[in-house]
């Protein structure tokens, strides 16, 4: 399955910005089930410099500086990604969750040792007894690990109300847990906190959903902005992605941008500006389009060409 993704962020400042420094996690990374065919930037005003590096989780990070005075900053990332079919899970065949927990805690395997990032607290997700007891209902004694995780995802989906603007990046996780409402990012954080509170590994995945589903399929929640879900680690098998906002296992409609311990490791865009006045107005537009065979062959983009110049390949 081939997708074309356009992610546009526009900041409108009340006063002129003299200079801005930015970091972007906006070019999709390659994964086992995803290959990046092409990605480019359209940034206005044109950055004086743009440099790519990998962060410690292997994500692609871009650093750029805008050095000319501006009132609006438009950052668009355009990419083309191919999703490969993922293998089907057999939840009942997975080991009991206590065994998984034991493996994570006592491993001597060098690679598995380094996954301990995802067992511990992170800036936005602190383990707690409340989260542990929320998770406990999904993990009775000896339950196969994957069954438990699927159940946890379904419970979050049912227990929590999707409500944009109910939370901000700074809303504490305990409050989200108490109020039972939020957006995809909150649901991912709840799941991550719940799993870590039981001693299981969980990470945050930033990405996209297909905007317009194929005929006959429902439009998924969270499709017109960036999306987020979580993944958990089953040693020997690898990381398993789960989307609690839509209660499904991501496959064929979820494009992965980057992952980290929580949102703060992989915000799509982060910057520091000199000047700019009070809080800028922020506008985000995401288009994720499935390319059919013709479009793929001709390389024709059905998206309207946004009038942005200075593309950087």
Partner 1 sequence: MDTMSSASSAEDLLRHYAPPPGYDEAMQPDRALRPGWQTLMAHLNRLSAPRLESLRQQARQLLLENGITYNLFQTEPDNVRAWELDLLPLIIDQVEWLQLEKGLQQRHQVLERLLEDLYGKQEVLRSGVLPPALIFSHPGYLRTCHGLLRPRGVSLPWLAVDLSRTAQGSFQVLGDHLQSPTGAGYALENRQILFRLLRQPLNDNYVRLLLPFFSTLRAHLHEACPSVKEDPQIILLTSGPTDKLYFEHAFLANYLGLTLVQGEDLTVRGGRLYIKTLDGLHPVDVVLRMLNDAQCDPLEMGEDEFSGVAGLVQAVLGQRVAVLNHPGAAVLENQALLGYFQGLCRHFLNEPPQLAVTPTWWCGDPIALEQVLDELDHLAIQEYAKPLRHGGDLSGADRQAMRQQIMARPEDFIAQTPINPSTIPVMTAAGVRPGRVILRAFATANRQEVEVMPGGLARVLLESGQAPSFSDRSGITKDVWVLSHSPAVVRTNRLPLERLSEPSFFTGELSSRTAENLFWVGRYAERTENSLRLLKVLLLLPRPESMAIWEGEGLEALRLLYQALTLVTDTLPGFVGEGAAGRFLDPEKELLFLIRSPECPGGIHASVQALALAAHRVRERLSNDTWRVLNQIVGLYQQLSHHKSTTDMVGEMEGLITTLAALAGLAGESMTRGLGWRFLDMGRRVERAIFVLQLLRATLVPALEQEGERILLDALLSVSDSSITYRRRYRTHFAVKPFLELILLDESNPRGLASQLTSIDLHVAALPRRGAMPSYRTPSGRIILETVNTLRMAETDLLGAVGDTGTRSNLQDLLGRVQVLIPLFSMELAHAFFQHSPSRALRGGIH
What DSSP character marks residue 115? G
Min. distance of Cβ 267 from partner 1 in angstroms? 5
From 65, 82, 154, 159, residue interacting with partner 1 (rule: CB under 8 A): 65
* Minimum distance, C-beta of residue 285 to partner 1, in the bound complex (Å): 10
Is residue 79 within the footprint of partner 1 (CB under 8 A)? Answer: no
Contact 3, 255 (CB under 8 A): yes
* 148 is a site residue for partner 1 (CB under 8 A): no
Residues of span 257-286 touching partner 1 by CB under 8 A: 263, 265, 267-276, 280, 282, 284
6 vs 185, beta carbon nearer partner 1: 185
Q: 152: which 2 tokens? A: 């946890």
DSSP for 211-275 reads: SSPPTTSPPPTTTTS-EEEEEEEETTTEEEEEBTTTTB---SSEEEEEEESSGGG--SEEEEEEE
> Per CB under 8 A, does 8 bind partner 1?
no
Strands 181-182 and 161-162: parallel
Q: Smallest distance from the beta carbon of 144 to partner 1, in angstroms?
A: 26
DSSP code at position 59? -
Q: For residue 103, which phi and psi values (nearest 5 degrees)?
A: -60, -45
- State the residues that interact with partner 1 by CB under 8 A: 9, 11, 18-24, 48-49, 51, 53-57, 63, 65, 67, 108, 110-111, 113-114, 116-117, 119-121, 127, 129, 164, 169, 183-185, 206, 222, 225-226, 228, 263, 265, 267-276, 280, 282, 284
């Amino acid at each position: 399955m081939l997708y074309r993704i356009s992610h546009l962020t526009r900041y409108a400042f009340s006063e002129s910005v003299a200079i801005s420094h930015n970091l972007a996690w906006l070019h999709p990374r390659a994964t086992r089930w995803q290959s990046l065919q092409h990605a480019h930037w359209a940034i206005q005003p044109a950055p004086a410099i743009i440099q790519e590096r990998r962060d410690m989780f292997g994500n692609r990070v871009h650093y750029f500086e805008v050095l000319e005075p501006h009132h609006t900053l438009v950052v668009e990332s355009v990419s083309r990604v191919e999703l490969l079919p993922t293998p089907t899970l057999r939840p009942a065949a997975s080991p009991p969750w206590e065994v998984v927990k034991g493996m994570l805690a006592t491993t001597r395997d060098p690679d598995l040792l380094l996954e301990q990032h995802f067992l511990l607290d992170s800036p936005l997700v602190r383990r707690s007894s409340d989260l542990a007891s929320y998770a406990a209902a999904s993990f009775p004694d000896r339950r196969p690990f994957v069954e438990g995780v699927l159940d946890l995802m379904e419970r979050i989906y049912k227990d929590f109300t999707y409500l944009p603007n109910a939370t901000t990046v700074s809303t504490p996780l305990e409050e989200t847990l108490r109020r039972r409402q939020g957006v995809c990012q909150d649901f991912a954080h709840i799941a991550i906190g719940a799993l870590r509170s039981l001693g299981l590994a969980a990470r945050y995945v930033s990405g996209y959903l297909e905007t317009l589903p194929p005929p006959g399929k429902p439009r998924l929640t969270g499709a017109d902005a960036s999306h987020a879900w979580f993944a958990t680690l089953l040693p020997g098998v690898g990381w398993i992605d789960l989307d609690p906002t839509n209660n499904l296992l991501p496959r064929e409609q979820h494009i992965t941008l980057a992952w980290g311990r929580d949102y703060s490791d992989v915000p799509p865009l982060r910057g520091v500006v000199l000047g700019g006045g009070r809080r800028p107005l922020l506008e985000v537009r995401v288009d994720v389009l499935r390319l059919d065979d013709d479009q793929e062959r001709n390389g024709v983009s059905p998206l309207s060409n946004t009038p942005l110049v200075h593309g950087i390949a």
